[in-house]
Amino acid sequence: MITIIDYQMGNLRSVQKAIEKVGHSAVISSDPKEIAQADHLILPGVGAFEDAITELRRRDMVGVIKDHIDAGKPFLGICLGLQLLFDVGYEGGEFEGLGIVPGKVVRFEVPPELKVPHMGWNQVTFRHKPPIFEGIEPQTHFYFVHSYYVVPNDEAVIAVEATYDKPFCAAIWRDNLVATQFHPEKSQASGLHVLKNFAEWTPAA
């Protein structure tokens, strides 16, 4: 069962419809007990870091997310769902994240001719190709919309990069955990391919 976490911070139905389009089913749930039963778990997200982490804690979802990842089951974070995995975010202050991946979330500092948020299609390159990117060629375009990006303490978890003035982390991969800064559900055929790979992914023990 693929479960999409509902904490009132994401375009949940778009992710669900994209999963359905590639031949799989997904449920949207805000029930920690139901989330704990998921085989594959997706944490999407659109909005502010502080609001999101507050909602996850208020809804008692932090423990089930960590338990799912610790159990070796496939996990996908999308956009804000990537950022929340880190130790600390600096959007509107300094806020503690889930602390699953050591590192921080910082705002783009770019020349005046580049706008923030970074919004639109951007090419990606691979440092390491996660299993959910099998069949995706380097320089494939994905859809981004974000003002902040992640900076892992250990660069080995950076799997995919894109460039906005300078290279930034576009996706991480560690064992059964993968998370993207871009929105696969908004990235047409390439994004659907990534979601299909995730739905069919069985991480190595």
As annotated, the active-site residues are 79, 183, 185
**Cα gap 123→196, rounded to integer Å:** 20
One-letter amino acid of 66? K
**Cα gap 154→10, rounded to integer Å:** 28
**Cα gap 152→41, rounded to integer Å:** 22
CA atoms within 13 A on the CB side of 81: 28
Number of Cβ within 10 Å of residue 104's Cβ equals 18
